[in-house]
A = this chain, B = another copy of it.
Amino acid sequence: MGVHQYFKSLNDLEKLIRCPGKFKYQEHNVAAHSFKVTKIAQYLGTVEEYHGSEVNWKDLYEKALNHDYPEIFTGDIKTPVKYASGELNMLFMEVEETMTSRFIEEEFPEQYQEIYKRRLKEGKDETLEGQILSVADKIDLLYESFGEIQKRNPEPLFFEIYEMSLVTIKKFSHLACVQDFLGNILSDMLKERFIPRTELMEITESIMDKEI
């Protein structure tokens, strides 16, 4: 019934919680995740450009912004299931594409349908922009899992996600932006410390002892 259905569907992305079925100290929704991935991709593109690569910014933003939109149709299916059988995964992707196409044909004016079919396609291809998206997606996942580990979530899953994300990022270490991330940003993340109780005691005592 028109683009209103598309605008309205953005609200559903806010109600789609990532990694369902596990206790998390902080929950993230797909809309906020997509925002963060696009912001991270923006930084990674900036680094690439600085190191001499040519970045197609329009493409990069489109890929990052839209990369999880089809979850509107399919919901959040657990990763192990998705990859449990190659056959299932292939069928699953077919269904996803069919549902996305059908939605576009039903809701968008004809003149914009081709544009949106291209935009809502899986963007993680071999282009520089596709590679940056793959990295940005995993960096946000790394931060999400690090956030849980840092708050001491006892669920081993978040450790596995952390590991898997880092392994994927490293696969792109031929990119200048990945070298920048691994060399400068990741190390700062790992330096984040928990303020230990002993320090609390010391600070308290030092405040109490100070003459004023």
Contact = CB atoms under 8 A, between A and B. Distances in A.
Copies in the complex: 6
A29 B32 contact: yes
* Interface residues of chain A: helix, strand, loop or mixed (majority): helix
A30 to B, nearest CB: 8
A154 B28 contact: no
A25 B151 CA distance: 10
A3 B72 contact: no
A6 B62 contact: no
A159 B157 CA distance: 26
A206 to B, nearest CB: 9
Interface of A: 1-8, 10-17, 20-26, 28-29, 31-32, 34-36, 38-40, 42-43, 46-47, 50, 57-58, 61-62, 65-66, 71-78, 80-81, 84-85, 87-88, 91-92, 94-96, 98-99, 109, 111-112, 115, 119, 139, 143, 147, 149-154, 156, 159, 162-163, 166-167, 170-171, 182, 184-186, 188-195, 197, 200-201, 203-204, 207-208, 212
21 contacts: A2-B184, A7-B143, A7-B185, A12-B21, A14-B32, A29-B32, A35-B38, A46-B115, A57-B57, A57-B61, A58-B61, A73-B80, A77-B77, A85-B95, A149-B200, A151-B152, A154-B194, A159-B203, A163-B203, A170-B207, A190-B200
